[in-house]
Structure 1
Amino acid sequence: MPTVRISSVVCSPNVKYIRWKVHEDWVTQLNYYDSIQVVISASIHEPTALVIGCTTGTTNVEQKMKEIKDVTKDGKVRKCHQASLGLPQRRAEGDQTVFQVHKGVKAFSFCKRNNLLLTGGMDRIIRMWNPYVPGKPTGMLKSHPAPVFYLHVAAEEKRIFSMSTDNTVKIWDLENHNCLFSACPKASGIQGELTACHYLSNLKALCVATDSISVLHLRMRARSDTHLVVSHKEPVVCCRYNKTFGHVVSCSEGSVIKVWDFETGMLLSEFIGAHGNAEITCLTFDSSGRRLITGGRDGCLRIWNYNNGHCLKTLTQDEKHNEVCDCTYVEMYQNKYIIAVGWDRRINMYFDSPHDFHHFWKPQPHWPDDLIRGHKDDILCVVQCPPSLLATSSYDGEIIIWNMISGHMYCKLNTPVLTHHSEDPEDRSVSHLTFLKTRAAKFESKAASLISNGPQGSVIFWSLFSGAQLIASFIPSRGKSQISSIVVTTGDTCAYVADCLGYVYSYDIQDYALEGPEQEPPKNVKFWRAHVNAVTSLELIEKEKVLLSSSVDCTVRLWSMDGEYIGTFGQSELWDVFTSASWKHPMVPYEILMDPQSMPVHQGLAEDVSALQIDHMEEDKIIQEKSSAKVGV
């Protein structure tokens, strides 16, 4: 990075340099506010605790008159001008506003919208000021147990955020000055000496730097809309149906596991802190359905008796604790395994023997092919096709098919690079795979036997046996949104794909890509919006002819296979899944009904799914043109 010294700046003809002498002690904070074109600075020196001053030359009339007298007859300013020597100037009294605060100011925050200035310091009191009236504060907020280190006014949220040197975080109401929330270090988990804070308004998160960086996601208020129903307080990462007990199990980012009754939607049990403070990333069941297996960002797999929330075992890969991205339970020739993949880029197989505990804690030795020719990037997905095929996909777009009996690589597939997105490595990530199991059973078949998601919201069909290759690709999503989940029916007759906009699309694939490459997409049977945010998991419960979905929007929902809305887990009214009269249909979730992106397209375009592609930038442009036209009127 280039270094520019102040001595060089002073000599530059293109830079106006003014050095102000403002405080008599260390400057603790400094901000420039372009909206009012001033510099606000703070110090622990009580007489000049906070100063609001002009940035450029003086605006004071008397001071300007004095400068005019200093100009020589030929119009040149005398050589001994203070600025040219780099000596600090003192602002005229009319060019600055000085606030005197007991024990000085350590931190401040200014909000032009509310004409509000906040100061805090060693005396642990947050003072509220009118920035043009320095004599007396308009209010005081007291309750911090230590000196105030950081302040921020969030005008849109009508909140004030403060933090003290003992790592206590507080949230205040901007209007009535009440303390709404307080978190001590034990609650927030922030340890070490506080060095910096920053509030991210877009994320509604407070970033705190000590000996590590902590991000506190702040949920300002409870959902005020009574129409909204949620299953979890945090985004739902995954959900699965347990046919042994007739339960639905869902996991959230907050490391909370909930167990629901599938037939009625009733909450049966929940347990928190399943992976400590780490997020749960995946879940599966053993072959009996009696044990739940979860993977997390802490690099651990945990085996649960999920009916009572008891953790039976914790499995670890190594000391590095690489994040687990996906897991599956495999039964192969009387042997049972838990397979986990993630950021360590290896296939970790844990031998599941209820009687032999010593072989259970650590993964089996890795396959030689995996170590030498395996993935070079983080593995995102793993799926099995009985009896012996395993497929894994990674962040760089690579898909590998494995022979589980020999541990050898069967074939390797590479996701195509799209021209104008070739420089974006994220665009190639493959996070979802699904085998077409009836086709994969015919090893010599030319038909596509694997489906994956791909770049720009595409769905890709792969042939594995008669030359591993891509034989079909199409984009179902309305806005080319990334495909986030794929499931197929048992007989491989119908495929359901979901995207990051919350849409679910149903395709007839019974005769699709059977004889080789396809140029057209399969027939779209149905599509509907299931969630207002990204769908995180889909599961078909074919015996009952329903579809289970979960989403980042904190909900888990049931649908008929035709897209009829049955209900959201967590709603007050219970349903009977076998009695359609108890379903929510023909109603749809309230937030979907109100979301602008749910607006239907013209009926004439509905026959061709490819015509449903919407250019959101064009929509925005039209809206702007209409609004500007209204202003003109």
Structure 2
Amino acid sequence: MNSLRNRRNPWALYESEVPHRRFRDPTCGVSPAEKLSPEQLQLLRNAFTCAEAEEKNDEETPNEWSKSKSWTRKERGMNLGEFLDVLRSVIGSDIEDTWAERFFNEVDISCTGRVRWQQLCSYLFLEYTERERASIPTAALLDAEPQIRHSPHNKREPTVRVVAVSHPPPLRYISVSKGGQITVWNSSLYILKSLGLAGDPREEVANTRRFRGWATDAVYMSNVHKVAIATDCRDLHFVNVSTASVFEDVHLFGFRSVLTALCYWHDAQCPERPPLLLMGDEKGGVHLMWFLIPSKGLFKNPSKKENSPQRIFFPDLSEHSDMVTYRHIPNVHQKPITRVMFEPSSNVIMTSSESSTTSVVFMTVTLKREPYIWKIREGAKCFDYTTLPGHRATILDVAIYQPVRQIFSYSRDAELRVWDISTHHCLKIVHLQFPCLQPGRIPEHGNFPFLLLSPPPSEHKQPHLVVGCKDYLALLSLAEAGRGGGGTGGEFGPDFQGGPALSCALYNPTLRQVVTGYADSSVSLWGVETGRRQLQILNAHGEEELTCMALDSSHRRLITGARNGTIKVWNSLNGLNLHKLEPVTDTEVTGVLCLHDNQLLAVGWSQRIAQYDIAAAKDLYVRARMSWKSSGVHTADILAVCQCSALGVIATASHNGEIVIWRLETQGPLLHLQRHTQAGEVPPVNSLLFLQHRAGNRKLRNKGVLVSSQGGFLSFWSITEQTHSYGQFYAPEQPGERVLSLSSDQPTNKILVSGDTAGWLQIWDISQYALDVQHESVCERPPMLQCWKAHKLGLVSVEVLELADRLLILTASSDGSAGLWTKDGDHVGSFGQELMWNITDPATYQRETHNLSKGKHEDGRTESDKVGSRKKRQDPDDPTNSGQTSQGDCCSKDNTSVQTASSSSLAESEYEQSQQPMYLCQDLCQKCRVRRHLFDDIDHCNHC
């Protein structure tokens, strides 16, 4: 555990995180920050000032007001009606009442019913600050520490060019060193193969030919699966990469000058169009080579097959006129061409050189138009035209990354910069720590250090950038869309149905919103009546996983906790970050709850209780108060926390199975609870739930008021009686599972809902359960009302909510989906689905009933055979349900309590020793009249 209390800057965790982005539903209307002009803001200020002065004069004399000045300024404000009238007078009478009311609610975050000018200023300040921050996008680089690999085959020579080869799959990289060494890498930069360029056959000694020149450039010819490599020997080497065995098959030699830059284009939509190979040379000329029948080859096949590459003398190229057409454009530049590019839509050739008079030239292939010429004093080593000052050494390469409108530039001192095209801001600076870097020395580079792969080949989904320095390569992953930036509008991010793992969820009854939090640090707020997303916050805690959420007492503020110990408070209406709470440690926050006076409590792996006052907080940063006497009470990580206001207590539970009851008044421990097991192992407590109705009822508050889930067992506890255990039973449908989440209906607490690690949801009738002391070994279960498999993976959150005069169940799963169900198991829908529902119209429900799964079990029976008619179960209080069973049947046909869970009614020791499926009968065996015995088979009783 790493304590942050003694650090100089406890807020460093917030300062280093990726900024968040928020997106609002466009139907909510324009943000007030966009709609209000400076003149209108001045009129608003005058209106508030006049209102304050009016109240002073009407209610007090000047002297009296002077004595109570602070009180008046604190209490005075406008109610909703007054605020609407002022807005109409300032903006116009045509403003929508719903927009103005939403504006009022966003400002009145504490739900006092009045807003003051100071509150309005704070709200607008946050809005404008957020929008200004969001206007500067975040750099697209995802890797803080790129993978760096050494290329020993380069023999300390720099890499000239890296190309990406996607055929045959999977993706490979091919690097070409200055000395002509070719290295094949896999997508993770591990070497697969290496070979050298063929040398002059006249120098063959002992059946070996050594290449003695320097490579100048290389290009991948994707439609013919070859790599063309130019060297200072005035030649081109064509290397076949169509198979895993890379080899050189054509050597075109005898050019009049050294080729210094290459570019290749082919029309993927029209393969019959001749592809074009462009070559810039040392004399400033451009060579164009069209391959007429690329499907049959680049050149005529040799008359006889040889093991060595086919050698073609450049002056003899006319003999291959059926296969290739050649053209030369001389004297485009006065110095060697450093880069050549081709724009097919306009048939424009773009070239650069270090000439000050012809630095960059744009010309058409036909030369019918005058070329565009840029003159730069020092010439151009590379180009994508812009002026971005900042590098302190020669810029070796630049590339435009179109998906996020950013530019990458790389200088000789191994500094990589990311720029925003629209604002020319430098968004990020990365100093690549290549092992070959030495203090005071500039490393050697090839002419083309960059390979930008965007869009990537289909089988390699992540765009990335490869950088070469001397004989090393660095691989950096790129974001596919801007992660920083974005205001309150724009498109939502991806719907999370089946997406990133979902870690927490809750229901906001005041705003009628469902809030879901995800492992990728995003938050989505959904309208529960339609399933439509209203607000989304990306990177809420940078890139840290969200672990818990809670609401304040007004339900206008959302509190989120993360795996790195950070806690934030948000405006639930607009996504503004109101407060950042001081982290106690840099370890996981597992639970937050809000007391009635907006005092927040946070627990987690710190094993302590931290308190925060957000009621009086005016600053963005709120300090933690460690006044709770929690030091050393829990000896393991705290995993759960819940509150019972009627009894004035909270409960916390830890990884070692211990539950501690705390008195709110004294902030100290009151009671320790722990379930004893015969096996000796104590599983962690995953969830806690107070039954608030029982706690508030004088006749019931001494009964089982606290429910805990430990492993698969649900335990009911009294916290006031001498005997605390009031019942326990194993809840999951399958052996070895755990219950992750609990909920109950409010305010009656007649049912208990549990969700387990296998995705099953159970609804129990607890109206008469745990009202008498029950010995731990009995494990009597309450009647099960419903049971169905709600999700593929574990249910991290379940919640009972009352809406439109009906009970609904909210479920959230680690499989990335969140759903809404009726209490009978009908599926209303999944949040994020394409079609919205109407909560008052059952015809719009998805109606995927999961409580009769048809999957076969090992014994050959279907789930419906075992579970029976759970959904059609009669009310246990119905007098027509006599409970009679047919002769020979152990269970009533209408009784739905035959469970697939092995050990459902076993005492814990029996459960841990049980190895075969067992079944529980809730009714009497007709033969022996014994109740609640285990059955190897549904048709007969073990007791018999």
TM-score, structure 2 normalization: 0.43
Note the C-alpha offset of 1:545. 1.2
Preserved contact between residue 42 and residue 106 of structure 1 (Cα < 8 Å): no
Q: 1:134 to 1:418 in 2, by over 3 A?
A: farther
What's the C-alpha RMSD, in Å, of the aligned pairs?
4.9
Note the C-alpha offset of 1:612. 3.6
What is residue 452 of structure 1 aligned with on the other side? Answer: 708
Bigger share in strand: 1
Preserved contact between residue 601 and residue 612 of structure 1 (Cα < 8 Å): no
State the structure with more CA Rg: 2
Out of 625, 630, 643, which is 1:364 matched to?
625
In the aligned structure 2, how far is the partner of 1:541 from the partner of 1:179? 44
Note the C-alpha offset of 1:463. 2.7
Q: 1:499 to 1:172 in 2, by over 3 A?
A: farther
Preserved contact between residue 822 and residue 828 of structure 2 (Cα < 8 Å): yes
Preserved contact between residue 702 and residue 720 of structure 2 (Cα < 8 Å): yes
Letter in 2 for 1:462: W
2:758 aligned with 1:492 = no
What is residue 181 of structure 1 aligned with on the other side? Answer: 462
In the aligned structure 1, how far is the partner of 2:902 from the partner of 2:847? 27
Preserved contact between residue 124 and residue 145 of structure 1 (Cα < 8 Å): no
Preserved contact between residue 172 and residue 178 of structure 1 (Cα < 8 Å): no
Kindly tell me the number of residue pairs found equivalent between the two proteins.
460
> Structure 1: which 4+ aligned runs deviate by more than 6 Å?
119-132, 142-146, 164-174, 194-197, 592-599, 614-619
What is residue 768 of structure 2 aligned with on the other side? Answer: 511
What is residue 414 of structure 1 aligned with on the other side? Answer: 674
In the aligned structure 1, how far is the partner of 2:459 from the partner of 2:764? 55
Letter in 2 for 1:278: E
In the aligned structure 2, how far is the partner of 1:130 from the partner of 1:617? 56
2:781 aligned with 1:521 = yes
Structure 1 unpaired stretches of 5+ = 1-27, 31-40, 47-98, 147-163, 187-193, 198-205, 209-227, 620-633
In the aligned structure 1, how far is the partner of 2:614 from the partner of 2:595? 10
2:820 aligned with 1:558 = yes
Preserved contact between residue 129 and residue 137 of structure 1 (Cα < 8 Å): no
Q: 1:611 to 1:357 in 2, by over 3 A?
A: same
Out of 602, 608, 613, which is 2:902 matched to?
613
2:496 aligned with 1:241 = no
Preserved contact between residue 855 and residue 862 of structure 2 (Cα < 8 Å): no
Preserved contact between residue 171 and residue 180 of structure 1 (Cα < 8 Å): no
What is residue 281 of structure 2 aligned with on the other side? Answer: none
SS of equivalent residue, structure 1 residue 393? strand
Preserved contact between residue 520 and residue 543 of structure 2 (Cα < 8 Å): yes
What is residue 400 of structure 1 aligned with on the other side? Answer: 660
Note the C-alpha offset of 1:536. 1.4
Preserved contact between residue 454 and residue 464 of structure 2 (Cα < 8 Å): no
1:382-422 deviation line (CA, Å, top 9, x unaligned):
10001311000111111101111112211111243462x73
In the aligned structure 2, how far is the partner of 1:268 from the partner of 1:535? 24
In the aligned structure 2, how far is the partner of 1:402 from the partner of 1:414? 15
What is residue 725 of structure 2 aligned with on the other side? Answer: 470
Structure 2 unpaired stretches of 5+ = 1-147, 157-173, 197-214, 221-226, 228-239, 251-263, 265-398, 400-407, 411-431, 435-448, 478-493, 869-895, 904-910, 918-944
In the aligned structure 1, how far is the partner of 2:728 from the partner of 2:583? 36
Out of 366, 371, 378, which is 2:637 matched to?
378
Note the C-alpha offset of 1:435. 1.0
What is residue 267 of structure 1 aligned with on the other side? Answer: 533
SS of equivalent residue, structure 1 residue 432? strand
Note the C-alpha offset of 1:508. 0.7
Preserved contact between residue 579 and residue 619 of structure 2 (Cα < 8 Å): no
1:451-485 deviation line (CA, Å, top 9, x unaligned):
11112x22222232222543422222122311111
What is residue 289 of structure 1 aligned with on the other side? Answer: 555
Bigger drift between 232-241 and 128-137 goes to 128-137
Q: 1:308 to 1:110 in 2, by over 3 A?
A: closer
What is residue 589 of structure 2 aligned with on the other side? Answer: 324
What is residue 693 of structure 2 aligned with on the other side? Answer: 438
Bigger drift between 577-586 and 399-408 goes to 577-586
Letter in 1 for 2:743: V
Out of 486, 497, 502, which is 2:759 matched to?
502
Q: 1:579 to 1:444 in 2, by over 3 A?
A: closer
Out of 603, 615, 625, which is 1:341 matched to?
603
What is residue 535 of structure 1 aligned with on the other side? Answer: 795
Q: 1:563 to 1:171 in 2, by over 3 A?
A: farther
In the aligned structure 2, how far is the partner of 1:105 from the partner of 1:530? 55
SS of equivalent residue, structure 2 residue 462? strand
In the aligned structure 2, how far is the partner of 1:42 from the partner of 1:410? 67
What is residue 890 of structure 2 aligned with on the other side? Answer: none
Preserved contact between residue 524 and residue 609 of structure 1 (Cα < 8 Å): no
Note the C-alpha offset of 1:603. 2.5
2:859 aligned with 1:578 = no
Letter in 1 for 2:636: D
Note the C-alpha offset of 1:609. 4.3
Q: 1:581 to 1:125 in 2, by over 3 A?
A: same
Letter in 2 for 1:498: G
Bigger drift between 473-482 and 573-582 goes to 473-482
In the aligned structure 1, how far is the partner of 2:152 from the partner of 2:504? 49
Note the C-alpha offset of 1:428. 1.3
In the aligned structure 2, how far is the partner of 1:401 from the partner of 1:325? 17
SS of equivalent residue, structure 2 residue 863? coil
Preserved contact between residue 168 and residue 182 of structure 1 (Cα < 8 Å): no
Preserved contact between residue 783 and residue 897 of structure 2 (Cα < 8 Å): no
Note the C-alpha offset of 1:511. 1.0
Preserved contact between residue 415 and residue 428 of structure 1 (Cα < 8 Å): no
SS of equivalent residue, structure 1 residue 428? coil
Note the C-alpha offset of 1:135. 4.2
What is residue 576 of structure 2 aligned with on the other side? Answer: 310
What is residue 810 of structure 2 aligned with on the other side? Answer: 548
Identify the structure with bigger relative contact order (alpha carbons < 8 Å, sequence gap 6+).
2
In the aligned structure 2, how far is the partner of 1:508 from the partner of 1:246? 26
SS of equivalent residue, structure 2 residue 543? coil
In the aligned structure 2, how far is the partner of 1:552 from the partner of 1:341? 22
Q: 1:180 to 1:513 in 2, by over 3 A?
A: closer
Q: 1:247 to 1:522 in 2, by over 3 A?
A: same
Q: 1:347 to 1:260 in 2, by over 3 A?
A: same
Preserved contact between residue 340 and residue 349 of structure 1 (Cα < 8 Å): yes
What is residue 352 of structure 1 aligned with on the other side? Answer: 614
Preserved contact between residue 642 and residue 689 of structure 2 (Cα < 8 Å): yes
Preserved contact between residue 734 and residue 902 of structure 2 (Cα < 8 Å): yes
Note the C-alpha offset of 1:559. 0.5
Note the C-alpha offset of 1:437. 2.2
Q: 1:593 to 1:494 in 2, by over 3 A?
A: closer
Give aligned-pair identity as a percent: 24
Letter in 2 for 1:461: F
SS of equivalent residue, structure 1 residue 438? helix
